[in-house]
A and B are shown apart, each in its own frame.
Chain A
Amino acid sequence: MLRAIAVGIPIGLTFVDCFGYVAKVEGISMQPALNPENNGKSDFVFLNRWSSRSFHYSRGDMVSLISPKDPSQKIIKRIIALEGDLIRTIGYKTRYIRIPEGHCWVEGDHTGHSLDSNFFGPVAIGLITAKASQIVWPPRRWQWLESELPDERIPLNLRDVSGRSFDSSEVIDLVDIED
């Protein structure tokens, strides 16, 4: 019996470390995608560690990362911008920011109720631990989590020139528009 535990623990830990695990989502910072009902019931998501081992992320991915404010805490946010992108911030110390090398910009979907990059700035990609791929509990909320960005949060260097939605009276440097 003891031997079964001694064998099971390393195998279980390795599985969790390499493939992923289920975690409870606390808080309202990712509404309406996660925890949309304010009735005390939390969503449980599957955090996929297999897809994050090469640190290759896309904009719009929902990821779990170690909080820059408190290394013992993990937070779940959406990646808005990757290194080199120019974005407009919401309440950060500078109005616009270009993401430095090796960093990304994360935000909670519920603007105004989220402690994210608008508070602590760009986060190092090395802090990201896993990608949230689907909601697994409760069963009626079972769904794949889509990797999508709201239109108003798309980085400025990726926007279509003709569909500009920001105020042209704001002075910014011309940026290269990528195809």
Chain B
Amino acid sequence: MRSGVYRLLGKWLGVAGYMVQYGCIAHCTLEFVGDFVVCKGPSMEPTIFSEDVILTEHLSARLNRISRGDVIIARSPTNPHHHICKRVTGLGGDKVKNGFRTQIVPKGHVWLEGDNSMNSTDSRNFGSVPSGLIRGRAVCRVWPLSELGKLSSVQKWQVER
């Protein structure tokens, strides 16, 4: 009788052990390698529409290898609980046009703009964003399936330095 209980306990502990193991692997993958993000809002149209799901990778952000023209996900500088999805149009040291003014992006910061200039709250509103807030870089769209594929690329974003 007792040995039966112990065997059951051992079996459940084994299951729990596997759950912890795979849970940790999943956590590490989603945190350090990449994950899927549901985008909401019109600020990246026509590149990304609301309710599109994109695949993002976190390695570029962690290794500070973000380039001009990349679409990135970052923590919002105005609310750390929210994330924003914008395109990097300027790196540290670049001169960017903001209305009538030209300003220089400080070192360690990036300038973000949504592709839908008319309908986007971005660096033109809240200023340069520290690169430490960037979480990941968008790789491609995975949903809707009819629009599967790479996001529009850099050609139209040749930024003057």
Residues of A within 8 A of B (CB): 7, 9-11, 13-15, 17-18, 55, 65-72, 100-103, 123-127
Contact = CB atoms under 8 A, between A and B. Distances in A.
B111 to A, nearest CB: 14
Main secondary structure of the interface of A (DSSP, over half): mixed
A124 B133 contact: yes
B16 interface: no
B80 interface: yes
Contacts of A55: 80-81
Contacts, number: 71
B24 A69 contact: no
A66 B132 contact: yes
Main secondary structure of the interface of B (DSSP, over half): mixed
B27 A127 contact: no
Interface residues of B, number: 27
> Among A7, A14, A67, which residue has the most Cβ atoms of chain B within 10 A?
A14
Given A67-B132, A71-B132, A10 B79 contact: no
Given A13-B32, A102-B79, A126-B76, A68 B21 contact: no
Interface string B12-32: 000000001101110110011
B107 A69 contact: yes
20 contacts: A7-B21, A10-B21, A10-B25, A13-B24, A13-B32, A55-B81, A68-B108, A69-B106, A69-B107, A70-B108, A71-B130, A72-B64, A101-B79, A102-B78, A124-B77, A124-B80, A124-B130, A126-B80, A126-B132, A127-B130
